[in-house]
Chain A
Amino acid sequence: MPQYMTFQPKPYRPRMSAYWYLDQWHYLRYALRESSSFFVAYFCVITLIQIAALKAGPTHYAHFQALMRCPVVIVVNAFALIFILLHAVTWFLLVPRVALRQMLNKPTPDLIASAPNFMVWFGATVIVALFILGVF
């Protein structure tokens, strides 16, 4: 007949704080990185509006350009640019090394995977800029 304890001590189960991401700088950095997604969605919507304005005619496009000149919109766009740059840099430092490790099947220096992506980014930026500015 097994001997049972008369008192069953219960382990303490801590609850995770709702503001856990403020506890460590690394967690806050992660939260900021992820919040870039809101700005990605925001600028995609702006682009949709821009396409609609283009299709509707010069007066509507002038309205769109005036909207872009609003101080509030400019501030939001500035934040959007900062956050999307944060996304791009963290993405290129984190993601390509996974595919490279998968392909080569051995540890590789992270820079070998990241560097080509930064170069493609630079190239893409230049080409798209030239198209947008009407050089082509």
Chain B
Amino acid sequence: MADTIILEVERFHPERDTEPSYQSFEVPLRADWMVLDALNYIKDQLDGSLTFRWSCRMGICGSCGMMINGVPKLTCETLLTNFAPGPVRVGPLDHFPVVKDLVVEMDDFMAKLQKVRPWIVRKDDFEPQREFIQTPAQLEAFHQFSLCINCTLCYAACPVSGLDSNFIGPAAIALAHRYNLDSRDQGQEDRLDIISQHEGIWDCTVVGECSVVCPKGVDPSLAIQQYKLTATKEWFKSFLLPRGKN
């Protein structure tokens, strides 16, 4: 195995460039390095202006998502030697506006996330005197979808996110679904108003890439299709029983 590997990193300076370009860096090819280590090597030793996000370096904060050879990945979890002899193309996440180099603007995603109200919604004035009791079965119902770390790799993988910037997107819908399935939550109706619009679940064409790239096994595609079943059931109910809920 060679000693070094070439990283072709996408550079974009908002004050100088109108379009991104690629810059090549030669970094050591160490057996235990992740792509994030290579990027930090570049920033420390070769070009201090390289800008990118990272934090926990252990796959839980969701900060370091980037396109590696055209596939969205967490750079802290992607082994560098997987790409030997290289070169490796590193770029900012697809379908997001690029602020600088490998940093993307997340405001749109944050707004979409807020829209679906990803928290326990109570319709009553119930003040719990102790924590809510949940059986293991009740936890199992939503646990898988609660593993989302908001890394937005799914948005980068989803072609509909690129084609329609209004699409609420896999992570937001999966999180809405997580709360719908939570036995403590009473907000299903409110979320359905947002989700069952065209920019919600109905924009999804089941490409399935979101579930393939998810680093935590959330399977947002499954959540979206389940939500379609729920929304369809509610639609038929409202159609056949138009006088509304009791």
Contact = CB atoms under 8 A, between A and B. Distances in A.
B77 interface: no
Residue in A14, A94, A107 whose Cβ sees the most chain B Cβ within 10 Å: A14
Contact of B94 (A14, A95, A107): A14
A7 B15 contact: yes
A99 B227 CA distance: 11
Interface string B129-141: 0000000010011
A44 B95 CA distance: 38
A55 interface: no
B118 interface: no
Contacts of A16: 95, 159, 162-163
A106 B207 CA distance: 23
A10 B77 CA distance: 31
Nearest to A104: B141
Interface residues of B, number: 34
Contacts of A95: 225
Contact of A9 (B14, B162, B207): B14
Contacts of B15: 7, 9
B222 A21 contact: no
B19 interface: yes
Interface in A84-123: 94-95, 97-99, 101-102, 105-107
Interface stretch (B82-90, B97-105, B109-117): B97-105
A106 B14 contact: no
B201 to A, nearest CB: 12
Contacts of A107: 140, 144
A98 B97 contact: no
Contacts of A94: 206, 208
Given A12-B20, A14-B94, A94-B206, 16 more contacts: A7-B15, A9-B15, A11-B14, A11-B99, A11-B105, A12-B14, A12-B18, A14-B95, A26-B207, A26-B212, A94-B208, A95-B225, A97-B222, A99-B229, A102-B226, A105-B141
Interface in A42-69: none
A36 B159 CA distance: 19
A60 B236 CA distance: 44
Given A11-B105, A12-B97, A98-B225, A105 B209 contact: no
A20 interface: yes
Contacts of A21: 159
A106 B12 CA distance: 45
A11 B124 CA distance: 44
Contacts of B105: 11
A98 B141 contact: no
A125 to B, nearest CB: 25
Interface string B217-246: 000001001100110000000000000000
A38 interface: no
